Structure 1
Amino acid sequence: MRQGVKGLGGKGVKALLVGVILLCVTGGAGAQVQEQVTLDSSILLESATVIGRRDEPATALPYQIELVRNAERRRVQSLTTADALASLSGVYVQKSQLGGGSPVLRGFEANRVLLVVDGVRMNNAIYRSGHLQNAITVDPNALDRIEVIYGAGALAYGSDAIGGVVHFRTRRPDYRPDGGSAGYLQTNYSTAAHAANLAGGLDYGSTRWAATTQYALTRFGDLRAGGYRPDSYGDFGLRTEYVRGDEVVTNSNPQRQLGSGYAQYNLLQKVRYRVGKQLELTANLQFSTTGNVPRYDALIERRNGQLRWARWDYGPQTRALASLRLDDRRGTGLYDVASYLLSYQYVEEDRIQRRLGSSILEESLVDVGSWNLQIDYAKGLQPGTDLRYGFDLRTERVDATASPPTEPTRYPSQGSGLAGGGAYLELSHSLGTYWQLRGGLRYSYQRLTATFDADDPVAWPADYLTGIVNPSSAVTGAVGLQYRRDEHGLRVLLAQGFRAPNVDDFAKFREQSGRIQIPNPDLRAERSNTLELGYTRTAGPLRLVLTAYGTLLQDAIIRRAGTLPDGRTAFVSRGDTLFVDTNVNAERAWVYGVDAVATWNIAPTWELRGEAHWLRGRRWQATPDGRELTLPQDHIPPAYGRLGVHYASGRWSGEVRLAAQLRKQFEDYAVNEITGTASTGYTFDRTGSADNPELTPFGTGSPAWWTVSLYGTYTLSDRWSVQLKGENLTDRFYWPYAGGIGAAGIDVGAGVTWRW
């Protein structure tokens, strides 16, 4: 088993060496700290802030865009990026364990949402379709802001951006002509999980170079759930027992969710260097790793009334990134601005399991190495007309091992990977004073490969042993129209998205809920078409932003009952009979919804802000007798929102916030399997779907909930500030939709920041 930093492995060391070389080229180390009091994070429809992969003004993009600033994250003391998204944006976040957070954008989750850090895509060949917890590998303390770009983003980003893009932008150091340095130390503590955080940074440089160094150590204890339990929950969610060794022990405090705590370590080094006039080089090195992260939803799983697992951990989860970016603003006949971004990213994901009563420790170890090259150009053709174009290349290698040797590897034992690329062209044109038209096309190609071994537990056909291949391609487009005049804003966007199958879709060999998933070499790319309308109205102190959208998803990849290469429909593993599933392109779905955000500046120091998010999803699902039924789509959270009163004056800022989520009925959960016929009647099995219906109180769905929280910041001086919070002040117990762990009960926290 790999432990701690040792879990970095050979490829991780390679990533760090690449980063060190990049930093030696540019030289230096340091950090910058910015702190400001703001009333809210907001949807940016009228901001000059640059966002996205190509650093474009938000006003130039016909997308719904939301920004989470670091000052706001500090104010609410979010210790992970997932918590920052859940607290400060319209993004719904699912958690299977305390050490996680899977963003849901417009009813799309996991590998249908693209995560990006500093322009580099985080999504890799093993991003799965269920719930992904990779967002927490980005250090929130090192961020300048989080940019959320809703809707299909295939034109600029390619595959995976069906629901949208979450772009984590880390701090950018400033040049310091007068030399000197600046830095900060920050510490936080909160009671619900006895969570403690220590973060710091240093910034220094000169006229030609600037650097930032950031580090953070965070430890979470076992999370305490709320003590006030609505009748609808009964004793659901109480941690009455836990496993110690091979002994089932009674928990003296059932509200404390034993087996949920973990620790995380983060480091960032960034250097900017002026190569010449209008020519700048930026080197970026990031490293994140954890201790073992308990999979809490598995630790509370029961079979025949007994706890199933003595241990279920994600082993040290490591991400290492090294990138080099060149920005050229000198201008030529082909471009006015050009950027070149080369990156290598290493990800290690380990799974460590032991069944209760078994002496066998099962380990699944997976390493992914990714090279990416992105080139973007921008050219002004004439006043009011701009051209953007570029291309990207990508190659990834997946290595999987398992122990004991008889244990099957999660991915092909002889290696798997992908190679691909794409090119895009986009044109924007002003239609007079108030109208702007923007549109473009993109072509993408990808090739998957996977090779199996003759010693695998399954007798694979000969071509599986020499290597199977899956090619896919897609042409996508987008066109948007914007109108801005005085206090009114209107936008219309039609955008296509796609998600090319990855190694996880194509070649995974995995056991779950009594079933086993096997490869399918014939998968095609998922496709989407999204239409959205946005309206903004500003009337003095009142501002209203409305967005309505609808997405048609076609050729969606879902699991269906399948067979092994020899025709068998079941596989026997360690005495368990596992029925065979495989992924197929067999689903069409329709997701639609409305977002509303309103702000009212009651007085110069007071602001009332409210937001609501409602969405629905339906899919056409085939029955065994060939009919097609309209059933609920998965990953669709119930309606949710929040209302807050913000205050900021002098040294004080604060907020009172009410957050709420409506009920989701059990019949609105996705159906995993249909049995029966029209004449005998259909039976719907929801077990194993991404909605996690087995983690609902007694199969009744997700109950409604609400919480009241307080946040405050006091600035003692230019150097010292204090942050205070009290979340879920009524200590209400609730289990979020599709979650695998109860939400925090009353959580009192304090933070101190010192700058120099």
Structure 2
Amino acid sequence: MRSTLFTSILFALSTPAMADTSVEAELAGVATTAESESGPEADSAGPRGEAPLEQIQVTATRTAKSNFEVATAVSVVGRDEIRELAPLTVADYLRAQPGAFVQATTPGQAIPIIRGLKGSEVLHIVDGFRLNTAFFRNSPNQYFALADAQNVDRLEVVRGPSSSLYGSDAMGGVVQVLTPEERFDGGSWSGRGRFRAQYTSGDLSSVGRIQGAAGKDGISIAGGVTVQDVGRRELGGDGGRLPNSDFSSHAADAKLIWSPAEGHELMISAQYLQQPKTARVDELIAGFGQTRPNSVEFYFQPQDRLFAQVRYTISEATSWFDRAEFHVGYQKINDDRRTREFGTANRELEENSSRLRGATATFDKTVGNHSFVYGAEAYYDTIDSFRERLNLNTNVVSARPSRFPDGSTMDSFAVFANDSIALAPHWQLDVGGRYSSFDIEMPTTPQGPGVKLSPDDLTGNAGLTFRATDTLHVVSNVGRGFRAPNIFDLGVFGDRPSNRFAVPNIDLKPETVVTWDVGLKWDQPGVQAEVFLWKSNYKDKITSVETGEITPSGRIVVTNRNVTDLDLWGLEAGARWYFNEKSQAYGVINFTRGEETYAGATYDADRVPPINGRLGFLHYLNETVSIDAWALYATRQDRLSPRDLTDPRVNPQGTAGWATANVRLDWEFAQAATLGLRLENLGDRRYREHGSGADEMGRSASVILDWAF
């Protein structure tokens, strides 16, 4: 019998780990279930309706610990929930999770907003390696969609600053994608596989994935291929099909796991995903306050990501560590574009890429009542950028200033340590610190002088857990996060929209945030719940400001400076109630508010999500059939920043509130084979998630076949 769908609570639980599962498997992010150890026929979580075992997470502490036992606010989207959803991108898994909101400028691209922060203000990680690059924007961007949504074993979200363990960008939190890792028992080779097919009527999309693995005790080889084709989105309320909302992608991955000796494990993996041509919908369709679109052409063509990594793990007690883990990785992201504004025959062609190399060493050691995690990491990022102009009337090609100074680099080095101290039977203290240093260089170009910056930062955090009872923990955290200025902050200069001319500021320093929260975690048979109150004070936010100068051509000179303060606060809560072995209810509510201050003026913060969440009820009709009914909701958001008011993606009168009714029916028609039917937005409501670039899908049906063999 399959375990339940935990889409709405912080303790979203995947299939429980076997008692003899190795710690190194958990640390690698493996959903260490009976299936991964013994084949698909063991994909079970015990009697239906029984509360699963505590979920093991690895992101909040860089060690395998139950999320109930750590002070940090952690959300886990587990294996079963991932199989039962029908995502377009990885961000879709986080919709209506505690503390998270999803913004999608275009259907093929989406980001999570964590505690009111977005883009490079949130650190994105895939299998322990940074996805954030030197040209990540501190605003919605497309790069999170370059991780394959079908090659996900679990997602972990740490809410609140995590800079002590993860460094720059981990201000709102950390989102980590963990891909499957297959392991086998026995001395003979065996194999297993999985096939997934999905069709959705609302956007005529089809998704297919085939994956397989072979191995024996001590070695496994696995791989998979994903193909996705998405048509134009059908809008609610007879809104018709949305132009330019179609896109496609294809992906492939491979992974080798080998144990050369007891306590030692080598992992080698590679991933690739490409979106050949994805339109930026909000640039090609007139938005709020517009009589025509901004562009006649705006395509990301192509966008792709190549990632390769080697990990070596040693699990044996020494005087310095009980466990050591070493990562070496390489990631290349290509951000190529084809654009043309209205009223011109000039087509702009761009080629931008980030080549990110990284190495991390992490060590665990337990001494008495102290559990230490410490280590070091280094990343080296090189930005290549090229742009040319094609005149469609004359076919003349001419060179144009590149988006970023070609050959710009951003290097970083850091050391970190964290100690978990058992103070007394009912108390635990977690303290951590990190020192980070950066070298940022941009060459001189005709548009601006060269820039060299060497910022550094010292960050820390503390968390306190009071175990009031075996089932109720009271927790509190305080942490300081930071974001170093990157190539996007420093390197986008020259002519800019709205008659501006941007010049670099060689005195930019890191942005910082101090966050505190207090929460309750409740975990007992029949009820699992969590509620957190939190507040963040964001200082030295990088903002584009006018210098008071004018160029000879009459453009207003602007530059980026650390001049804005931002206060954010909110509440996030989730719960699940088990009425009996057949029925359970669940719910989530997220509340966020924010105010920004600049030059003595205070106004509503940018892109703050409205109150939002989910309510649902799950019931097992019999041994093989279950039905899940839920509502997604968001209230009206009319607390808009000055930037929101001029953004054509946002209604200046406010984004209307909405709610959708949805049903999922699952039938396990054979062993380890499930057929699912999802009926979404049954009322055919036309609505838009706040800040997104297009209205959401109207009434739609998805059919999902998941077969393990």
| Pairwise same-fold verdict (TM > 0.5) | yes
Match among 550, 554, 564 for residue 539 of structure 2? 554
Aligned to 1:610: 587
Does the CA-based 8 Å contact 1:721-1:753 persist in structure 2?
yes
Alpha-carbon offset, residue 39 of structure 1? 12
For 1:513 and 1:124, how far apart are their aligned partners in 2? 27
For 1:603 and 1:106, how far apart are their aligned partners in 2? 34
Aligned to 1:170: 179
* 2:628 counterpart of 1:655: yes
Aligned to 1:21: none
Aligned to 1:410: 403
* 2:481 counterpart of 1:500: no
Q: Secondary structure at the match of 1:477?
A: strand
Alpha-carbon offset, residue 176 of structure 1? 4.0
Does the CA-based 8 Å contact 2:96-2:632 persist in structure 1?
no
Does the CA-based 8 Å contact 1:52-1:167 persist in structure 2?
no
Aligned AA (1:641): G
For 2:46 and 2:630, how far apart are their aligned partners in 1? 15
For 1:632 and 1:524, how far apart are their aligned partners in 2? 24
Aligned AA (2:118): E
For 1:45 and 1:96, how far apart are their aligned partners in 2? 38
Alpha-carbon offset, residue 400 of structure 1? 0.4
Aligned to 1:749: 702
Does the CA-based 8 Å contact 2:164-2:460 persist in structure 1?
yes
Match among 600, 604, 609 for residue 637 of structure 1? 609
Alpha-carbon offset, residue 275 of structure 1? 1.7
Q: C-alpha deviations, 1:306-337, integer Å up to 9, x for none? A: 34422111111110011101101122211111
* 2:371 counterpart of 1:386: yes
Aligned to 2:649: 695
Counterparts in 2 of 1:424 and 1:378: CA distance versus 1, 3 Å: same
For 2:601 and 2:87, how far apart are their aligned partners in 1? 42
Q: C-alpha deviations, 1:33-72, integer Å up to 9, x for none? A: 685689999x999534444572331345321011111321
Aligned to 2:283: 298
Alpha-carbon offset, residue 632 of structure 1? 1.1
Does the CA-based 8 Å contact 1:111-1:129 persist in structure 2?
yes
* 1:149-188 superposed matches below 5 A: 149-177=158-186, 178-188=188-198
* 2:55 counterpart of 1:55: no
Aligned to 1:646: 618
For 2:583 and 2:134, how far apart are their aligned partners in 1? 47
What do you get for the CA RMSD once the two structures are aligned? 2.5
* 2:202 counterpart of 1:192: yes
Alpha-carbon offset, residue 488 of structure 1? 1.6
Aligned to 1:80: 89
Q: Secondary structure at the match of 1:664?
A: coil
Counterparts in 2 of 1:475 and 1:292: CA distance versus 1, 3 Å: same
Match among 336, 341, 358 for residue 350 of structure 1? 336
For 2:532 and 2:703, how far apart are their aligned partners in 1? 36
Aligned to 2:27: none
Counterparts in 2 of 1:571 and 1:536: CA distance versus 1, 3 Å: farther
For 2:274 and 2:201, how far apart are their aligned partners in 1? 24
For 1:40 and 1:616, how far apart are their aligned partners in 2? 39
Aligned to 1:8: none
* 1:582-597 superposed matches below 5 A: 582-597=559-574
Greater alpha carbon shift after TM alignment, 709-718 vs 103-112: 709-718
* 2:642 counterpart of 1:671: yes
Aligned AA (1:734): Y
Q: Secondary structure at the match of 1:275?
A: coil
Aligned to 1:431: 423
Does the CA-based 8 Å contact 1:38-1:71 persist in structure 2?
no
Q: Which runs of 5+ in 2 are unaligned?
A: 1-35, 390-397
Aligned to 2:15: none
Counterparts in 2 of 1:512 and 1:728: CA distance versus 1, 3 Å: farther
Q: TM-score, normalised by structure 2?
A: 0.88
Aligned AA (1:471): S
Does the CA-based 8 Å contact 1:349-1:366 persist in structure 2?
yes
For 1:51 and 1:448, how far apart are their aligned partners in 2? 28
Q: Secondary structure at the match of 1:634?
A: coil
* Identity over aligned pairs, percent: 24
Counterparts in 2 of 1:480 and 1:641: CA distance versus 1, 3 Å: same
* 2:453 counterpart of 1:470: yes
Greater alpha carbon shift after TM alignment, 742-751 vs 716-725: 716-725
Aligned to 1:377: 363
Counterparts in 2 of 1:117 and 1:366: CA distance versus 1, 3 Å: same
Q: C-alpha deviations, 1:213-258, integer Å up to 9, x for none? A: 0210001111111116xxxxxxxxxxxxxxxxxxxxxxxxx52111
Aligned AA (2:617): V
Q: Secondary structure at the match of 1:135?
A: helix
Counterparts in 2 of 1:610 and 1:438: CA distance versus 1, 3 Å: same
Aligned to 2:309: 323
Q: Secondary structure at the match of 2:444?
A: coil
Alpha-carbon offset, residue 535 of structure 1? 0.7
Aligned to 2:263: 278
Counterparts in 2 of 1:541 and 1:350: CA distance versus 1, 3 Å: same
Match among 257, 274, 286 for residue 242 of structure 2? 257
Q: Secondary structure at the match of 2:614?
A: strand
Q: Which runs of 5+ in 1 are unaligned?
A: 1-29, 229-253, 573-577, 623-627, 673-685
Aligned to 2:351: 365
For 1:64 and 1:38, how far apart are their aligned partners in 2? 27
Aligned to 1:481: 464
Aligned AA (1:718): Q
Match among 597, 613, 617 for residue 620 of structure 1? 597
Aligned AA (1:631): Y
Aligned AA (1:500): A
For 2:45 and 2:104, how far apart are their aligned partners in 1? 29
Aligned to 2:550: 568
Aligned to 2:508: 523
Aligned AA (2:314): D
Q: C-alpha deviations, 1:278-309, integer Å up to 9, x for none? A: 01110110111111100000001479733442
Does the CA-based 8 Å contact 1:599-1:608 persist in structure 2?
yes
Q: TM-score, normalised by structure 1?
A: 0.83
Q: Secondary structure at the match of 1:505?
A: helix
Does the CA-based 8 Å contact 2:327-2:360 persist in structure 1?
yes
Greater alpha carbon shift after TM alignment, 48-57 vs 154-163: 48-57
Q: Secondary structure at the match of 2:550?
A: coil
Aligned AA (1:748): A
Q: Secondary structure at the match of 1:610?
A: strand
* 1:40-119 superposed matches below 5 A: 46-51=54-59, 54-57=62-65, 58-86=67-95, 90-119=99-128
For 1:597 and 1:551, how far apart are their aligned partners in 2? 21
Counterparts in 2 of 1:44 and 1:56: CA distance versus 1, 3 Å: farther
For 1:372 and 1:50, how far apart are their aligned partners in 2? 20
For 2:227 and 2:290, how far apart are their aligned partners in 1? 40
Alpha-carbon offset, residue 571 of structure 1? 5.7
Aligned to 1:225: 235
For 1:362 and 1:270, how far apart are their aligned partners in 2? 39
Does the CA-based 8 Å contact 1:730-1:746 persist in structure 2?
yes
Q: C-alpha deviations, 1:568-600, integer Å up to 9, x for none? A: 25867xxxxx54432110011111000121221
For 1:506 and 1:97, how far apart are their aligned partners in 2? 26
For 2:664 and 2:503, how far apart are their aligned partners in 1? 49
Aligned to 1:544: 529
For 2:556 and 2:106, how far apart are their aligned partners in 1? 27
Aligned to 1:599: 576
Counterparts in 2 of 1:289 and 1:304: CA distance versus 1, 3 Å: closer
For 2:46 and 2:571, how far apart are their aligned partners in 1? 26
Q: Secondary structure at the match of 1:506?
A: helix
Does the CA-based 8 Å contact 2:60-2:72 persist in structure 1?
no
Aligned to 1:680: none
Does the CA-based 8 Å contact 2:266-2:311 persist in structure 1?
yes
